[in-house]
Amino acid sequence: MTNRLDGKVALITGSGGALFDSEFGLGFGGSSAFRFCQEGATVIVSDINDDTGQQFTEELREKGFNAHYRHLDTTSEEEWEKTISWIEKDFGRLDILVNNAGISGTGNILDTTESDWDKTNDINSKGCFLGTKLGGILMRKNNFGSIINISSAYGIVASKASFSYHASKGAVISMSKAAAIQLAPYKIRVNTICPGWSDTLFTSKLDPDRVKTIIDTVPLGDWIPADQIAWGVVYLASDESEWVTGTEMVIDAGWTAQ
C-alpha cells in the first residue's frame, strides 16, 4: 500500500459483479475497486447486480477498507443524477470516476439488429456519456477530477464481427477526447483505457479452439490479467498523471501493434 489515492473519493461503475473467490476473478471494475482501496481511496462500488455488489463491498470492508455500495443503471440519467446527488451529500466531492460498466457484442453489420445496436451502445457509450457529464458537473464545483472511461482495443481496430461493440467502444474514445478538451478549464482530466484480450468472465465463454486462435495472435502470448488493467486505472486516477488528458492507454500485450 502506497497511498497513491489517499483521501480521494472514487466511483467505479460495473464494479460489483464478482467476489474475491470468483472463478474468473474480479474483472476490470472489481480489480480497480480493490486496488483503489489499497491505495487509500474511499470507493463507491456500483452495479445493477445488487446482491453480488453489496457482498463484494462487504468483503472490502472486512479487509478494513472504506467501501460503499450504490445501485446504478448507467443508461439512466435519472439514476445518475440521484447517485451524484447522494455522493455530494454524503462525501462532499467526487475526485475519480471510472466508467467501467459494459457488455460485449457479437455479429457483423448484416446480422446486427436495431435492438442489438441500441443495447450495446446504450450501456457502453451512452453510459460513459452520462457518467462523464454528471460526474463532471460535480467535479467542476471543486475544480478537480479524473475520469477514466474503459474502451477496448476494438475501439481502435476492426474485426469480422462485434459490429455494435466496435461502434460503442470507438465512440468512447472519441467522446473522451472531446470531454478532455471541454473539461480542461475545470482541471478535470478525461482519459480512456483500451484493454486487449483479457482474462475476464466475457472471454471465459469462448470455446477452446477460439481461445487458442486468439492467444496465438497476442505477442506476449497469454490473456492479460484484469489486475494489469486495474493498475493502469490507478495511474490515470492518481496525481502521477496530472498532465495526462485526452489520450488512450492501450494495455493489449502488443496485439494492436501488428
Contact criterion met (CB below 8 Å) for 32 and 12 = yes
Distance CA 192, CA 140 (A): 19
What are the backbone angles phi and psi of residue 27, rounded to the nearest 5°? Answer: 75, 180
Report H helices in 39-102.
50-62, 77-91
Distance CA 132, CA 145 (A): 11
The sheet with strand 248-251 has its strands ordered as 67-71, 42-47, 9-12, 96-99, 145-150, 188-195, 248-251
Known catalytic residue: 235? no
Amino acid identity at 97: L
Which of 26, 4, 6 lies closest to 15, judged by CA? 26
Distance CA 36, CA 11 (A): 10
Distance CA 120, CA 104 (A): 7
Q: Which of 69, 165, 186, 235 is catalytic?
A: 165
Catalytic residues, by residue number, are: 165
